[in-house]
Structure 1
Amino acid sequence: MADTQDKIVDVRTEEPRRRHELIFENYLALTPGEGFVLVNDHDPKPLYYQFEAEHTGQFTWDYLEEGPLTWRVRIGRTESAA
């Protein structure tokens, strides 16, 4: 569930090649237990697979809105990511 303090990271206006970089910059800036809400114009499922490959067990992924025009996902950093 999104925390009212969660930062919003809206990548819809970013160049596609910059999106994952921006998202991971925000993820790595989180302290364990924090999260942000990703806003995207498509299902970010490939991003989920990248997180799973690079940060297994260290992130949470909760869909808040699933299209058709806007997807919102809360991405969090788990306590084990410390």
Structure 2
Amino acid sequence: MSEFAYVVRAPEYPPQMKHRVIFQTFDKLEPGQAMLLVNDHDPVPLFYQFQHEREGQFTWEYLERGPEVFQVKIGKAKV
């Protein structure tokens, strides 16, 4: 069984869809579950958006930090 409930490979989506898909996927997670975000650049702006829109609801852990591939484990915090 995978450590991740979902995997989102951001480069596969058009720019205007990326954050929407990531947040929709995050919202499907149950508390304690995690998703894997794979990206071609450091998703720092997304981290700040999560802080603003889902404050206290998520965890963020870099698993790989470039330079070509960035992988982030985004978890839904347990209530």
TM tier, smaller: over 0.9
Letter in 1 for 2:8: V
Residue 17, structure 1, aligned to residue 16, structure 2: yes
C-alpha offsets along residues 28-81 of structure 1, whole Å, 9 cap, x if unaligned? 00010001000001100000000001111110000000011110000000012x
Large movers: runs of 4+ above 4 Å:
none
Among 2, 10, 19, the alignment partner of 1:4 is: 2
Secondary structure of 1:5's match? Answer: coil
* Correspondence for 2:73: 74
Task: Give the TM-score, by structure 2 length.
Answer: 0.93
* Correspondence for 1:39: 38
Task: Report the number of matched residues.
Answer: 78
**Gapped regions of structure 1 (runs ≥ 5):** none
User: 1:11 Cα deviation (Å)?
Assistant: 1.2
Secondary structure of 1:74's match? Answer: strand
1: CA distance, partners of 2:61 / 2:3: 16
Backbone CA RMSD of aligned residues: 1.2
**Gapped regions of structure 2 (runs ≥ 5):** none
C-alpha offsets along residues 3-41 of structure 1, whole Å, 9 cap, x if unaligned? 833021111121111000000000000010001000001
